[in-house]
Amino acid sequence: MNTSRLTRMILVLALAASGAAQAADDSASDSDKIEAYREMISDGNPAEFDEMRGEELWKKPAGPKNASLEKCDLGKGAGVVKGAYAALPRYFKDTKKVQDLESRLLTCMTTLQGIPEADITAKPFASDKKPSDISSLATYVVGQSKGMKMAVSTKHPKEKEAYEIGKRIFNYRAGPYDFACSTCHATSDVRIRMQDLPNFNVKADAQSAYSSWPAYRVSQGLTRSFQWRLNDCFRQQRFPEPKFASEATVALTMYLAVSANGADYAGPGLKR
Amino acid sequence: MGNPMKIRASVKDGVTEVKVLMQHEMETGLRKEADGTLVPAWFITEVKAQHQGRTVLEAQYGQSISKNPYLLFRFKGGAVGEKVTVTWMDNKGDTRTDEAAIAA
Amino acid sequence: MNAKQLFGIAVSVCLASVTFSAQAGSKDDKKLDAKTTEIIKRDFRDKGIAKADRVNQDELQAACSKYLDDVPDKLKGKLEAAQAKEIKWPADGKYMGDWKAGEKLAQSGRGMTWSDKPEDTPGGNCYNCHRLSAKEIAYGTIGPSLLNYGKKRGTKEEVQRSVYGHIYNAKAYNACANMPRFGHMGILTEAQIKDLVALLLDPESPVNPKDASAAAK
């Protein structure tokens, strides 16, 4: 995060908080103030621009095969986007793999459009300089599950296996700091510096955390995908980098998504 | 040219509420690249909103406003179906205008 | 056969089936454990200073992961003793450095990530998890508050030595503690750990405010 953006964000938060002061009690906690800020700008989430970009990319013929993604099967049948994200990750017969949204988009972009996989995975995340097609596509797809109940299945043995492996990755301590995901995300009501941490062993926490990603990060001015979220967690965990859309990341996503089952999906979200 | 804005306008009890989301980098001119070079300033300087040809809001913007600015304002009057037009100008002389019909 | 005997058989059948399923479970668990390790070793790669081999667990990390940080007492003792044996105590027998340098170090959350440069000095990351001074409000709560730490304990040599040991290797005292092993893993130098000991114990340090109202908080 660059400092000038952070400073500006704090200013915006401060302005928003003062604007909401009549409604909110003076003693309202910081997280209440942030909640009020979210409410005020609920129709102003810049993630919408990324959704628009993603929708265009979904419908526009591209790649060596000059095809759109309108025949991409995200689990609800070819071309069905509505509600697809609320049931991902899931097992796909054609690839014989459990896939999350981004790994499935990768499959569609390589098979339907003929784009080489390495071209996509080399820079899968958006930056200041350049948006990411796969990330914008993901933003578009998740937006089409807004308000729907998260219902990720573990019926297929491969889905169950992915869940079990994901749980183990969640608790896997390694690296110079001995950190696992669970070091920060298995205790309630704790924070790192000023940041509240969700406890993924508690349903309500898991639901509100998972269902608000992907999200627009005000401090970065970018919409961030779920694969990015995991990638940056592992960075802070002092791990090496997880490969984009790898089995490890999909399994972990499976574990987190199932923990959030029953939530009303609320993404794309808005974060500090 | 700039990228399109999202504008939502709705009228209730004779007051129109307008929500505008603009796409703009809003570079302060103070930020540095990793290699130390300064990122040039590039930000919206002026925003103007009109209702049926009448200016209902004029604002001066600057570096302290975040990337992809969001603006919410209300004005007296307006009827369903009438147009609200929003224009921004930036320090490079670029400008963008979008409009939306007032909803119920 | 009377009813009591019948009941006894039913209970033992139940017990047997419970034992059986637990065994079957552990066989599955072992398979899943092995597959998880295989996937992790394959799916992480070098980036910057964070090399792929960081996912290889040492004995302690493996045990804490396996038992979800709740290792059986006997193993816990064994792990702690093994960690304690590897603590390198300062050769000069001094444990306290400069609290001002310690405070700077405690504030820094840098270090060891793939976005940190090799020439950057890792920080202590202390405020990420602990409250230390009364005036710093941006502190984490994963670890206990350390405000007034030295006031409560004084600066006797055994206290200094214990604090040094905890920062050098927290796992020598509590095998699956959340806290990193700053000395053991080569994150902080001996001199830096001494500075942190001073931050916690020095009566002049902001951790031990003289002002009673600050101390009461």
pLDDT bucket at B76, cuts 50 / 70 / 90: very high
pLDDT of residue C10: 47
Give the domain CATH number at A174: 1.10.760.10
Examine the domain organization and report whether A20 and A136 are in the same domain: no
**C74 in a structural domain:** no
Please give the span between the terminal C-alpha atoms of chain A, in angstroms, as a whole number.
11
The distance of B54 to chain A (nearest Cα, Å) reads 25
| Cα dihedral C37, C40, C46, C48 sign | negative
The CA distance from A141 to A138, in Å, is: 5
Structure ipTM: 0.87
The CA distance from A47 to A136, in Å, is: 9
Chain C residues whose CB is inside 8 A of the A100 CB are none
**B65 in a structural domain:** yes
**C146 in a structural domain:** yes
Return the structure tokens found at C16: 């047997």
- Residue A72 among the catalytic residues: no
pLDDT of residue A16: 37
CB-based contact, A42 to chain B, within 8 Å? no
Chain A residues whose CB is inside 8 A of the C45 CB are 240-241, 243
Output the CA–CA distances (angstroms, integers) from residue A70 to A114, B98, C101, C191, in the order listed. Answer: 14, 29, 60, 61
Examine the domain organization and report whether A10 and A133 are in the same domain: no
Residue range C31-51, pLDDT digits in tens: 999 999 999 999 999 999 999
Contact A232, A124 (CB under 8 A): no
**In three state form, how does the secondary structure of A189-248 look?**
CEEECCEEECCCCCHHHHHHHHCCCCEEECCCCEEECHHHHHHHHHHHCCCCEECCCCHH
What is the total count of domains within chain C? 1
- Across the interface, whether the CB atoms of A12 and B30 are under 8 A apart is answered no
**B75 in a structural domain:** yes
Residue C94 has pLDDT above 70, yes or no: yes
pLDDT of residue C42: 98
Residue A10: domain span:
1-43
| DSSP 8-state symbol, C170 | G
Element (H, E) at A118: helix A117-121
Write out the E strands in B1-104: 6-12, 15-21, 44-51, 54-60, 70-76, 83-90, 95-101
Chain A residues whose CB is inside 8 A of the C39 CB are 165, 169, 246-248, 251
Examine the domain organization and report whether A114 and A213 are in the same domain: yes
**C211 in a structural domain:** yes
CB-based contact, A172 to chain B, within 8 Å? no
What is the total count of domains within chain A? 2
**C27 in a structural domain:** no
A148: left (phi over 0), alpha (psi -120 to 50) or beta: beta
Chain A residues whose CB is inside 8 A of the B3 CB are 49
Interface A-B, measured as beta-carbon pairs within 8 A, has a size of: 42
Please give the span between the terminal C-alpha atoms of chain C, in angstroms, as a whole number.
71
Measured between CA atoms, the residue of chain B closest to residue A47 is B68
Burial class (CB in 10 A: 0-12, 13-18, 19+), B86: buried
Examine the domain organization and report whether A198 and A236 are in the same domain: yes
Residue C184 has pLDDT above 60, yes or no: yes
Which of A16-25, C63-72, C121-130, C198-207 is least confident? A16-25
- Across the interface, whether the CB atoms of C39 and A184 are under 8 A apart is answered no
pLDDT of residue C212: 58
Give the domain CATH number at C153: 1.10.760.10
Q: Mean pLDDT score of chain B, rounded to an integer?
A: 94
Residue B22: domain span:
6-29+37-101
CB-based contact, C73 to chain A, within 8 Å? no
What is the mean pLDDT for each group of 10 consecutive residues in chain A (272 residues)? Answer: 43 37 49 71 85 96 98 97 98 98 98 97 92 97 97 98 98 98 96 94 96 93 96 98 98 98 94 84
| DSSP 8-state symbol, A85 | G
The CA distance from A194 to A186, in Å, is: 17
**C129 in a structural domain:** yes
Q: Which residues of C165-191 are buried (b: 16+ CB within 10 A; e: fewer)?
A: bbbbbbbbeebbbbbbbbbbbebbebe
pLDDT of residue C21: 40
Residue range B49-74, pLDDT digits in tens: 999 999 999 999 999 998 999 999 99
Please give the span between the terminal C-alpha atoms of chain B, in angstroms, as a whole number.
30
Residue C140: domain span:
99-216
| Cα dihedral C13, C17, C18, C23 sign | positive
**C131 in a structural domain:** yes
What is the total count of domains within chain B? 1
Burial class (CB in 10 A: 0-12, 13-18, 19+), A210: buried
The CA distance from B42 to B91, in Å, is: 6
pLDDT of residue A28: 60
Nearest 5°: CA angle at A41, between A191 and B64? Answer: 85
Which residues, in sequence order, are CB contacts of C68 under 8 Å at separation 6+?
A171, A182
pLDDT of residue B1: 73
Beta pairing partners, A264:
A149
Contact A16, A36 (CB under 8 A): yes
pLDDT of residue B34: 82
The distance of B27 to chain A (nearest Cα, Å) reads 9
**B1 in a structural domain:** no
Give the domain CATH number at B10: 2.60.40.10
Examine the domain organization and report whether A38 and A77 are in the same domain: no
pLDDT of residue A23: 38
Q: Give the mean pLDDT of C193-199.
A: 98
- Across the interface, whether the CB atoms of B66 and A2 are under 8 A apart is answered no
Q: Of the listed A72, A108, A181, A233, which one is catalytic?
A: A233
